[in-house]
Amino acid sequence: MAHPKRRHSSTRRDSRRAHDFLTGKQLTTDSTTGEIHQMHRAHVHEGNLVYKGKVVVENYTKSV
């Protein structure tokens, strides 16, 4: 297994760990339906699958 010849600085270590945190999901409000949903994802509104304000699938049922 490879071992470093010299010690890495604490700055290099900390900059690598800067991306190890969790963030919340991006939520937005649909302008046509007014429903809050996850960005860039289709969502169910009144039984229809809606994406970017347009009905993609009517009478949508979630398949198992």
Residues 18-63 pLDDT 10s: 887 878 889 999 887 788 999 899 988 889 998 988 899 999 988 7
Token match 């604490």: residue?
A: 10
Confirm whether 60 is domain-assigned. Answer: yes
Q: How far is CA 30 from CA 17, 25, 37, 46, 53, in A?
A: 35, 16, 7, 14, 7
Structural domains in the chain (count): 1
Question: Is residue 64 pLDDT above 80, yes or no?
Answer: no
The reported pLDDT for the residue numbered 53 is: 84
Confirm whether 6 is domain-assigned. Answer: no
Confirm whether 45 is domain-assigned. Answer: yes
Domain of 51, in residue numbers = 23-64
Confirm whether 51 is domain-assigned. Answer: yes
* Helix residue ranges per DSSP H, 1-64: 10-17
Confirm whether 36 is domain-assigned. Answer: yes
> Residue 48 burial (CB < 10 Å; 0-12/13-18/19+)?
middle
**pTM of this prediction?**
0.54
